[in-house]
Amino acid sequence: MSARSGVALAAPPPAWDSIAGEQLLPFDFQPLNRVIAGPGVLQRLDEAVQSLGGQRVLLVTDPGLEQAGHPQRAQAILEAAGLKVALFDGVKENPTEREVEAGTEFARSHQIDCIVAVGGGSAMDCAKGINFLLTNGGRMSDYKGFGKASRPMLPSIGVPTTAGTGSEAQSYALITDEKTHLKMACGDRKAAFRIVLLDPELTLTQPQQVTAATGIDAIAHAVESFVCTRRNAFSQMLSRTAWHLLSQHFETVLREPRHLPARWNMLLGAHLAGMAIENSMLGICHSCANPLTAHYGITHGVAIGIMLPHVIRFNGEWVEPLYAELLAHEYGGKQRATDQLVERTLRFTQAAGLPQSLRDCGVSRTILPLLAEEAHQQWTARFNPRPVTENDLLRVYEAAW
């Protein structure tokens, strides 16, 4: 058992030389979308829609953004160009089939031919889900997995307003099953946004707690995708660059919310981390976070922030050399890379004022076995660099409690 984490350690992997061919791992990279990036590029939304042949646009967003005015600006830009816009703002955090079905009926009634998502990961996921059902019919559960949409899908555009999920860079829609509380990963290259607008000015209005939670989520994406079993040379290049951008600017956006260059680097870092996920995968940090959101309503990024240091420690016995590589630009070798990475993540969550334990969020110790059971069923657990059992996940939860 590790004295640092209280997590029982399985036998370490074979000598690193036996898996030293890291850069020989195969991959098949196909860019998903066109990316238009820079301050003020929201003004090019009409141009982007028209380049896809869109005339009747479904604008998918959430009501929380209306105070910031982003959906209204997007609608005004489109309507000024003579485009018809139907605004669907029924998106909730961690969208379920119910929101997707409601959005689909709304879109069908307006005979839309293009979809624009403006918002965070929930708006992006809901927009992709609507595209599945509107063009291919059925229910979201029919598309669990990858490549199950047999018919063409509508062209779509993603405009993220948070530096977090990187969903705009991915072909998957994560939709929560209301009965099981599990997130269904429904992927298809046709569901990916054809065009992405990365405008850092849109992230200036994020509340501090949103900046904190989404930023930690993006950081976890960079860390987990760098070491997961589906990593490859290309995905690791993306993960490493994302980590550098995010880790160097996260505390700045917390201290100076109007710091546009830092906001830009966070937005770009989150997007690159999303690209890394699309070309690799995640691990048990996300597997453990999802049941916490389902049972306690804990914001996804908050749950990620609590679990990440303990997951890093758990995996460190197997991927210490990879953590050292991730930290290469700042790693001095005087302490284990695993320990240094844990210290960095703890510093981030403390600077963000996020809870440091599951107890701080009111999680009962008696529910931990159930959480471990559900975390083991989450699909990202399969790609963790260190194989995990349900008992391993329980011990990780206990370390975080």
Residues ≥6 apart with Cβ < 8 Å to 269: 163, 218, 222, 241, 242, 243, 244, 245, 246, 249
Cβ pair 287, 381 in contact under 8 A? yes
| Count of other CB atoms within 10 angstroms of residue 391 | 12
Q: What is d(CA 31, CA 184) in angstroms, rounded to the nearest whole number?
A: 23
pLDDT surpassing 50 at residue 1: no
Average pLDDT over residues 239-266: 96
pLDDT surpassing 50 at residue 345: yes
pLDDT surpassing 70 at residue 339: yes
Q: What is the pLDDT of residues 85-108, one digit of tens each?
A: 999 999 988 899 999 999 999 999
Tokens of 236: 């690791």
Q: What is the pLDDT of residues 348-400, one digit of tens each?
A: 999 999 999 999 999 999 999 999 999 999 889 999 999 999 999 999 999 99
CATH T-level fold of 16-28+206-400: Dehydroquinate synthase-like, alpha domain (1.20.1090)
Cβ pair 171, 127 in contact under 8 A? no
Q: What's the longest Cα–Cα distance across the chain?
A: 65
Cβ pair 275, 232 in contact under 8 A? no
Higher pLDDT, 164 or 74: 74
pLDDT band at 347 (very low <50, low <70, confident <90, very high): very high
pLDDT surpassing 70 at residue 332: no
Q: What are the boundaries of each domain within the chain?
A: 16-28+206-400, 34-204
Indicate whether this model's pTM tops 0.75: yes
pLDDT surpassing 90 at residue 183: no
Question: Residues 7, 224, 249, CA angle at the centre, nearest 5°?
Answer: 115
pLDDT surpassing 90 at residue 17: no
pLDDT at position 28 is: 76
Quote the percentage of the chain above a pLDDT of 70: 93
Average pLDDT over residues 215-227: 97
pLDDT at position 333 is: 62
Neighbouring C-alpha atoms within 13 Å toward the C-beta of 123: 28
pLDDT at position 132 is: 98
pLDDT at position 365 is: 95
H helix or E strand, kind and range, residue 159: strand 156-160
Cα 295 to the center of its chain, rounded Å = 20
Task: Classify residue 125 by burial, with Cβ atoms within 10 Å: 0-12, 13-18, 19+.
Answer: buried
Average pLDDT over residues 292-299: 91
pLDDT at position 12 is: 45
**Average pLDDT value over all residues in the chain:** 91
Task: Report the DSSP pairing between strands 195-198 and 34-37.
Answer: parallel
Q: Is 34-204 a domain of CATH 3.40.50.1970? A: yes
- Per the listing, tokens 């059992």 go with 389
